[in-house]
Amino acid sequence: MFSLHQFKHLTSAGFARRLSTSTRSPRILVTGSLGQLGSTMVNTLRSKYGQENVIASDIKKPTLAQRSTGPFVYADVLNYRSLDQIVVDYGIDWVVHFSAILSAAGERNPALGLNVNINGFQNILEVAKAHKLRLLSPSTMGAFGPSTPKDDTPDLTIMRPNTIYGISKVHMELLGEYYCEKYGVDFRSLRYPGIISADSPPGGGTTDYAVDIFHAALEHNRYTCFLKAETRLPMAFIDDCITGTVQLLEAPAESLTQRTYNVHACAFSPEELAQEIRRQHSKDFVIDYAPDFRQDIADTWPRTMADVAARKDWGWNPLFGTSEIVRSMLDKLAPVYKNAAIASQSQPTSAELPPAAVTAN
């Protein structure tokens, strides 16, 4: 049994501990952290909040390099109990929910898209409610649909998307808002345009061409695009995307006037992007067009989005336009392709190999 003196001592120690945890860095769980945006997000958050405070997770196996920068756990968003356990074990305060099935992948496999984007999100929302977590879960311009005004699309407008991805993201936005109003879950979201990054490959979207084109330009100096030449869509560079996402994540609750915000940086068509690549990389770069089912998806999305509220409420301020994006992508990827070419040239040809090595296959 504790004496009264010991009890007082214990409670004041407990109080002191509670005080110190209320001023410590938040512990952040990132789901889907091996996707196109996840690894950059994890690295940015780790450099701000400390390696140990950011728990990366996915259902895929990380490479050694991905494991080396801090904790990584298996987290299937379809399994509520495992999410619950991670939140308890790691003392999670905030969740950045990046697990999703993107637009093209969702049309290829609607059942998977519905399951991950709807049931997975509901699990995340329930965990956020149970443990009073702050939850940032991105939405997309794909939440708009064919009857939405296409230019300067406002935050609040007609939203009748006709893809599994779009429908599931509207569900996410509305459910997040409902849980915020009804249960006080601090849900935050932003509607990204297509995101362009040299860090990781894109994961099955309609805007993937705007990343693939750089790899093709550097490797073959030609590209066959799955969208038509004139299909203009909103886009943003990964640096602006991650900076903006962290700004919204950290924004004081009282500065937010809504739960979901449009964010826009620039807009271009495949032909306009190709012209900029010719200007900055090679005048001989060739693009041709073989539109497929992704054209029908792109045709339902805005050409530009209005993002006045994001700029005003939490400081969205993208720095990369089309020309800066092309410059950065070429600067980052050119050395990779140059080194690969040098390595393949220095590989001995079969004629130069000793007989045992040639017969090994």
Ligand X SMILES: CC(=O)[C@H](N)C(=O)O
Ligand Y SMILES: NC(=O)C1=CN([C@@H]2O[C@H](COP(=O)(O)OP(=O)(O)OC[C@H]3O[C@@H](n4cnc5c(N)ncnc54)[C@H](O)[C@@H]3O)[C@@H](O)[C@H]2O)C=CC1
Catalytic machinery residues? 165
Stretch that binds ligand Y, among 57-65, 121-129, 153-161, 333-341 (CB under 6 A): 57-65
> Of ligand Y, ligand X, none, which one does residue 206 interact with (CB within 5 to 8 Å by kind)?
ligand X
* Cβ within 8 Å of residue 188, ≥6 positions away: 134, 135, 136, 137, 248, 249, 251, 256, 259
* Candidate residues 90, 94, 98, 226; the one interacting with ligand Y per rule CB under 6 A: 98
Site for ligand Y in 110-139 (CB under 6 A): 116, 120, 138
Taken in order 111, 113, 115, 119, the sign of the CA dihedral is negative
Residue whose structure tokens are 């003392």: 91
Closer to ligand Y at the Cβ: 143 or 344? 143
Closest approach of Cβ 32 to ligand Y, in Å? Answer: 3
Smallest gap, in angstroms, from Cβ of residue 63 to ligand X? 23
Q: Specify the 3-state DSSP secondary structure of 332.
A: helix
59 binds ligand Y (CB under 6 A): yes
Q: How many CB atoms lie within 10 A of CB 354?
A: 8
Which positions from 68 through 127 interact with ligand X, judged by CB under 6 A? Answer: 102-103
Q: Is 175 in the site for ligand Y (CB under 6 A)?
A: no
Q: Residue 248 to residues 16, 135, 316, 342: CA-CA distances in angstroms?
A: 30, 11, 8, 43
- Alpha carbon distance 209, 273 (integer Å): 10
The reply to whether 100 sits near ligand Y by the rule CB under 6 A is: yes
Helix orientation angle between 80-90 and 121-131, rounded to the nearest 10 degrees: 40
Q: Which does residue 99 bind out of ligand X, ligand Y, none, counting CB within 5 to 8 angstroms by kind?
A: ligand Y
Binding of residue 207 to ligand X (CB under 6 A): yes
From 34, 135, 277, 305, residue interacting with ligand Y (rule: CB under 6 A): 34
Query: What residues from 148 to 177 belong to the interface with ligand X (CB under 6 A)?
Result: 165
Query: Does residue 58 interact with ligand Y by CB under 6 A?
Result: yes
Q: State both tokens at 245.
A: 């996402």
Q: How many CB atoms lie under 10 A from the CB of residue 7?
A: 11
**Site track 127-146 with ligand X (rule: CB under 6 A), x = hit:** -------------xxx----
Token reading at 353: 């190999």
Instruction: Output the smallest distance, CB 35 to ligand X, in A.
Output: 11
We find the least distance from the C-beta atom of residue 165 to ligand Y, in angstroms, to be: 7
CB within 8 A of 294, min separation 6: which ones? 103, 104, 206, 226, 227
Closest distance to ligand Y from the beta carbon of 195 (Å)? 4
Report how far apart, in Å, the C-alpha atoms of 125 and of each of 10, 121, 129, 180, 328 are: 35, 6, 6, 10, 36
Q: Does residue 260 bind ligand Y (CB under 6 A)?
A: no
Candidate segments 57-65, 153-161, 174-182, 204-212, binder of ligand X by CB under 6 A? 204-212
Q: Find the shortest distance in angstroms from Cβ 194 to ligand X.
A: 5
Per the CB < 8 A criterion, the answer to whether 107 and 66 are in contact is no
Rounded Cα distance between 361 and 359, Å, is 5
Q: Which residue is nearest to ligand Y (CB)?
A: 35
Which residues sit at the interface with ligand X, rule CB under 6 A? 102-103, 140-142, 165, 194, 205-207
Residues at the contact surface with ligand Y, assessed by CB under 6 A? 31-32, 34-38, 58-60, 75-78, 98-100, 102, 116, 120, 138, 140, 192, 194-195, 202-205, 207
